[in-house]
Amino acid sequence: MIKANIQEEIYNSLKSGKQTALKVLRYIMSEIKYLEIERKKEVTDEEIVNLLQKEAKKRKEAIEMFRSGKRMDLVSDEEKQLEILGKYLPKQISTVKEKLKIIS
């Protein structure tokens, strides 16, 4: 399901000329295909989410490093990439109140 959504978004980005989105989504698809080749089977949505979380973590670390190096041009690029990845990640619970509502 996620894989199909990413493929569709690649097509839409290609048509609309969104280069940053196209670059990020193509990279993610190549990583998904690499996983499939490595495991010799189709990857599940859960495995794709794990891959996306790892990539998001890399982007967050890069943002911190670029900020400390005062490279704001690269910070904005990484933030755009992180935003694109975020579309395919499950929503995170951000506040303690929201967590408690779910638990009770």
Residue 28, φ and ψ in degrees, nearest 5: -65, -45
Please give the pLDDT value at position 93.
Answer: 54
Domain span holding position 89: 2-103
Per-residue pLDDT band for 33 (boundaries 50, 70, 90) equals very high
What does the pLDDT read at residue 1? Answer: 86
Q: Give the alpha-carbon dihedral of 56, 58, 60, 65, to 10 degrees.
A: -170
Q: How many domains does the structure of the chain reveal?
A: 1
- CA-wise closest residue to 56 among 90, 98, 22, 33: 90
Question: What mean pLDDT comes out for the span 17-29?
Answer: 94
Kindly tell me if the per-residue pLDDT of 87 is higher than 80. yes
Q: Is it the case that residue 50 has pLDDT exceeding 70?
A: yes
Three-state SS at 84: helix
Residue 98: helix, strand or coil by DSSP?
Answer: helix
Indicate which CATH number applies to the domain containing 52. Answer: 1.10.1510.10
What per-residue confidence (pLDDT) applies to 53?
93
User: CB within 8 A of 48, min separation 6: which ones?
Assistant: 2, 3, 32, 88
pLDDT at 96 over 80: no
